[in-house]
Amino acid sequence: MLVPPATLPGPVAAPKNTFVDKARAEERELQAPDDLTIVYARWAGCVGGRARRTAPREKKKHIYSSAIPPERPLRLGMRVRILATTPAWYSTPGDGPEKYDTYDAHIVGVVVGIAGWKDRKVVLEIKNECSVNDVESIKLRVPFVPEVTVQLEADSIPKGQREAQEADLNTYAAISACPGESRCGGSACWLPWRKLVGEAFIWEPMAEDVSERPGIKPGRKRVPLSHFAGWGKTADAEKERF
């Protein structure tokens, strides 16, 4: 039996969300033109849990989880920018549960690998390029919907795959962009105050090895109260009051 062409199965179409599309358009105006793909995700914790103070210092790895379909399917080698989401009612109690604010997580980098699975989400690994964020890499959990959320070669997909269901995707989110907030520049990123004062402002020559200012003997020094103008008179006046 012939099947009409309109009913033939085809690739899954990405769900449309005008609120998210508008937020992405506003986000494009905030950042410099580049090839970055914007991903909205929430912070979900640290890899291995919170480190103890006595443990040796390790490079930080964080976890982000997304339910909002990205503007285009994520693939290995793609450069992405993570904008972290928070419920809008944190700052505006009257907003509904599907409204979200965003902030720049200072995560910009390339999808370098596939770390595994978390239920029906595939876990992508992203190498962070931001020069002011000490998070070296992140694991991004994304609902596994081929050609919608991800575009992966069959031989690169680890065993245990479980395709996501409609309930795993948030297609009703209303996202607000962050006007006035500077965007992470990746390897060229500077903190806002460093842009104002420059790199030389925070540099101060120090004597080698002892970390002391040149011309001053090392060690802690007792500074008399009278060393500061007016402090001696103030101290005497306080004594006379009692």
Q: What does the mean pLDDT of the chain come to? A: 73
Q: Does residue 150 surpass a pLDDT of 70?
A: yes
Asked whether residue 236 is assigned to any structural domain, the reply reads no
Per-residue model confidence (pLDDT) at position 133: 87
Pick the more confident residue, 26 or 67: 67
242: in domain: no
Confidence band for 4, pLDDT divided at 50, 70 and 90: very low
Residues 6+ apart with CB under 8 A from 101: 85, 86, 87, 88, 90, 91, 175, 176, 178
pLDDT score for 134: 87
How is residue 131 annotated by DSSP?
Answer: S
What values do phi and psi take at 105, rounded to 5? -80, 0
Residue 233 domain-assigned (yes or no):
no
Q: How much is the pLDDT for 73?
A: 94
- For residue 237, tell me if it sits in a domain: no
**72 within domain boundaries:** yes
Would you say residue 95 lies in a domain?
yes
DSSP-derived secondary structure for 33-58: S-SPEEEEEEEEEETTSSPPTTSPP-
Query: What is the extent of the structural domain holding 63?
Result: 12-187
**Lowest mean pLDDT across 27-31, 152-156, 196-200, 219-223:** 196-200
**Would strands 37-46 and 60-65 be described as parallel, antiparallel, or unpaired?**
antiparallel
CA dist 103 and 43 (Å) reads: 11
Asked, for residue 22, whether it belongs to a domain, the answer is: yes
Please give the pLDDT value at position 160. Answer: 84
Q: Per the structure, how many domains does the chain have?
A: 1
CA distance 66 to 37: 14
Count of alpha carbons within 13 angstroms of residue 127, beta-carbon side: 8
241: how many CB neighbours lie within 10 A of its CB? 5
C-alpha to C-alpha distance for 64 and 50, rounded to whole angstroms:
15
**70 in any annotated domain:** yes
Beta bridge partners of 126: 111, 138
